[in-house]
Amino acid sequence: MPAPPFARISAPADDTLRVPKTAELVARQLRRMIASGGLRDGDLLPASAELEGRFGVARTSLREAFRILEAESLLTVHRGCAGARVQLPGPAAVARPAGLLLQQAGTTLAEVLTARLGLEPLAAGLLTRRGRDEPVQALAHMVDAMRADLAADRTLAAASSAFHRSVVAGAGNPAFDVLAGMLHEIILRHVANARLTDRLDPAERQHQRELAVHSCDQLIVLIRAGDADRVERFWRRRLATANAALLRLGPPAAKLDVVD
């Protein structure tokens, strides 16, 4: 694989407002290379001395550029010989600023759940219309894992979360995947901060666990039958039921609480 074409940095001569700092220009070029795929998730950047020569910048500017991109969750900087590695932001990084904005705006948990309700059933319908077997097989394996966790009285949180995310990923629309991941992470943070699941009595907790496994199993049956409209209606009803159960655990108009 050829080395990415790192361009030497120079400030634009016609910038009459504010000339960007050299570090900002370096960060901008690296950011664009990551966005365009010239640098991929997990790629190790060349050594600092090599980058300084390619960009034509001082080490202090390169280090500052790395700090900018590290703060944006685009790079992981290892002190010493390991250097810097590209790290694309996951749902947690995307959810952090979005959750802050939503909380500051006084958004309720019900409003976030409604947003998810509009997205995930549509994704399930798109997955069905694609007619691909691989995503459905993966979902079936996840239900098997959920069933095993249920039998062993283990938490279903991780397996259930993976199932919902995989339904959206199976739609083949990256925008859905990012939005659903962000909403899911925001909901999880609120549930944890408000300690909502602690309010479930054991009988209701067990009922919700069994209902989750049964619903996921039924969704797979409907996807395999190929009726996308029926899949959407079923998954919307299921999520609406789950949303109502979650909202009963706290005040009806509970505001988001997602900031650590």
Asked whether the CA dihedral 242, 146, 184, 139 is positive or negative, the reply is: negative
Burial of 134 (0-12, 13-18, 19+ CB in 10 A): exposed
Give per-residue pLDDT as tens, 165-189: 999 999 999 999 999 999 999 999 9
Separation of alpha carbons 230 and 236, rounded Å: 10
pLDDT for 188 = 92
pLDDT class of 19 with cuts at 50, 70, 90 = low
- What mean pLDDT, rounded, does the chain reach? 90
User: What homologous superfamily is domain 92-247 in, according to CATH?
Assistant: GntR ligand-binding domain-like (1.20.120.530)
- Whether the CA torsion 29, 35, 37, 43 is positive or negative: it is positive
Res 99 pLDDT > 60:
yes
Q: In angstroms, how far is CA 246 from the centroid of its own chain?
A: 21
Contacts of residues 219-226 at CB distance under 8 Å and 24 or more positions apart, as own/partner, are: 219/124, 219/139, 219/167, 220/136, 220/139, 220/140, 220/143, 222/128, 223/124, 223/127, 223/128, 223/136, 223/139, 224/136, 226/128, 226/131
Q: The whole model's pTM is what?
A: 0.81
Q: What is the mean pLDDT of residues 133-160?
A: 92
Which residue type does 192 have?
A
Q: How confident is the model at residue 241 (pLDDT cuts 50, 70, 90)?
A: very high
What residues are paired with 77 via a beta bridge? 84
Which among 67, 72, 66 is positioned nearest to 97, based on CA atoms? 72
The pLDDT score that the predictor gives to residue 157 is 85
Domain boundaries defined on the chain: 22-86, 92-247
Domain at 22-86: CATH code: 1.10.10.10
